[in-house]
Structures are given as C-alpha cells and as structure tokens.
Amino acid sequence: MNNILTVAITEFKRMFNSPFAWSVLAILQFILAMMFLTRVDEFVASYQQQIATVENSPGATFFIVSPIYLWAGIIMLAVMPILTMRSFAEERMNQTLTLLRSSPLSSAQIVLGKYLGILLFVTLFVAMLGLMPLAISLGTEIDWGMVATSSLGLFLLLASFAAAGIFLSSLTSQPVIAAVSSFGLLMFLVVLYLSGSSQSNSSELFIYLSHFSHFETFVRGVIDTSDVLYYLLFIVGFLVLTVRKLDNDRLLG
C-alpha cells in the first residue's frame, strides 16, 4: 500500500514538474469559466423571469451548474488521453519503465500507483470546477446536493476515461498512438450513445454501454447504484487488463 502511494504521489508531482499539468488545468478552467459565464448571463437575462412565476421550478443549479458538468465531461474526452498516454507508453519510449519493473513492486502495485496518480489529478480538476457554483452561491441559492452528485458523477466518468486510457497506454511504446487510440475508444462510446438514442433505430443496449448515459443521471441529481456499478466494472476491467498486459510483457516481451 505504501508503495502504491509512493508511485501515485510521485506521478502526480511529476505532472506538475513540467508546464503540462499547469497549462491543461489553466486552459480547462478558462474555457469552462467562459461557458459558465455565458450560462449565468443567459440565466439572468431570460430564464430567471420565466421561472419566477412557475411553482416548484428548477433553479439556478439546473440551468447553470449542470450543463457545465456535462461540458466538462465532453471536453475531457479529448484531454484525458493526453494525460494517460504518459503513464506507460512514454515510460516505455524513454526506457524508464525498467526502474519500476526492477523495484520490489508487483505489476498490480505499479498499475494502481499510476492510476491513483491520475485520480489525484482528476480530483483536483473536479474540485476546481466546484469553485464555479461556489462563486454564484454568493448571489443565489445553490442545490448543493445536485452539485455533489454531479461532482461524483464527473469523477467516476473521468476515472473510467483514465482506466481505459491507462490500458491503451500499456499496449504501445508510442505516446501518440496511445493518445489517439484512447481518444478513439472514448469517442466510440459516445458514438454508441448517439446511435443508440437516434430516433430511427434506438437501442437500449448501446445507450447502456456508453458512459455518458450513466453520467446523465448523476447530473440530474440522482445517484443510481447501477450507474456506480457500471463505472466500477469499467474501471476494474481495464485495470485488470493492464496488470495482465504488464505480466505478459515479462513472459513474452
């Protein structure tokens, strides 16, 4: 356990050794803040008057905060592969993976360490996103329960992106290939969602398989255990595959 934490914390720190993590966080925060601002403007200009007269209407959280969490998930489709490509592909390319491989760590400890490192980054990102509803809570009443479920949902969604990305990163020694293939896989799941929910031939199965359908319930303020389970299975599945891949490298590589 100590070893896992050592790897995780060092991985997390290393992201901030280069301008990489700083620029990713800064750009994400800037873009999401701009979107947030647009939503706030829109809300003040039009929705506010409309819902003022409606009994039991959805409030500012529904109109402003939820869409930001959805957008954050969509943007991370492109960003997460860049974060995860480093974990194994880049180490292989720089031939630094030998350090971890010859240290007294099992493959599972290496994978979990690296994965936890990325989860720390994800946590930081979700926390920074939480600053936005906090900012407007000065002027209006925020449904904190909904913010909490959205944060949890976003965290699980990004954790599933990371697990898939780490697996694809373990398959190759080319970071770019790792990033492109992770992006491809994540987009494929989005395509499943789009095709599953198309009007002509909708498919329950396709919708179930895509991770965004499970994210939506969280953003609506609902925690459904089946959705939580979906993400956990997704994460565990890809992490087990990654561990197997590393073990296989010893046998075949």
Partner 1 sequence: MSNTALNTSVLIQATALNRYYGDYQAVSDFNLTLNKGEILGLLGPNGAGKSTTIQMLTGNISPSSGEVFINGISLIEQPESAKSTIGYLPEQPPVYRDMTVSEYLIYCAALRSISKPQRKNMLAEASERCGLQDVHNKLIGNLSKGFQQRVGIAQAILHKPKVVILDEPTVGLDPIQINQIRQLIRELGEDHAVILSTHILPEVQAVCDRVQIINRGETVFSDSFDKLADRQSTSEVIVSFANDVDVSLLNELSGVEKVEALTSQPNQSRYQISYQGNNDTADIFQLAVKQDWNLLELSPQTETLEQIFMNLIHSESASKLESELNQESAAKKPEARDE
Binding site for partner 1 (CB under 8 A): 2-3, 6-7, 10, 14, 17-18, 94-106, 249-251, 253
What does each C-alpha distance from 244 to 11, 97, 167 come to in angstroms? Answer: 21, 16, 10
The nearer residue to partner 1, 96 or 202, going by C-beta atoms, is 96
If DSSP states are collapsed to H, E and C, what string results for 147-160?
Answer: HHHHHHHHHHHHHH
> Residue 31's CB: how many other CB atoms inside 10 A?
13
Shortest distance (Å) from residue 171 CB to partner 1: 18
The nearer residue to partner 1, 21 or 79, going by C-beta atoms, is 21
The nearer residue to partner 1, 57 or 103, going by C-beta atoms, is 103
The nearer residue to partner 1, 97 or 159, going by C-beta atoms, is 97
The nearer residue to partner 1, 4 or 129, going by C-beta atoms, is 4
The nearer residue to partner 1, 55 or 104, going by C-beta atoms, is 104
Shortest distance (Å) from residue 177 CB to partner 1: 21
Asked if 182 contacts 113 with a C-beta cutoff of 8 angstroms, the reply is no
Shortest distance (Å) from residue 118 CB to partner 1: 16
Shortest distance (Å) from residue 89 CB to partner 1: 15
How many CA atoms, within 13 angstroms, populate the side-chain half-sphere of residue 11?
A: 30
Shortest distance (Å) from residue 176 CB to partner 1: 18
Instruction: Find, among 207, 204, 5, 24, the residue nearest to 110 by Cα.
Output: 5
**Tokens 């595959």, residue?**
241
Instruction: Find, among 167, 116, 105, 155, the residue nearest to 5 by Cα.
Output: 116
Shortest distance (Å) from residue 20 CB to partner 1: 9
Shortest distance (Å) from residue 95 CB to partner 1: 4
**Tokens 């095709």, residue?**
195
Q: 55: helix, coil or strand?
A: coil
Q: Say how far apart CA 112 and CA 126 lie, in whole Å.
A: 20
DSSP character string of 171-210:
H-S-HHHHHHHHHHHHHHHHHHHHHHT-SSS--HHHHHHS
Q: 143: helix, coil or strand?
A: coil
The nearer residue to partner 1, 2 or 50, going by C-beta atoms, is 2
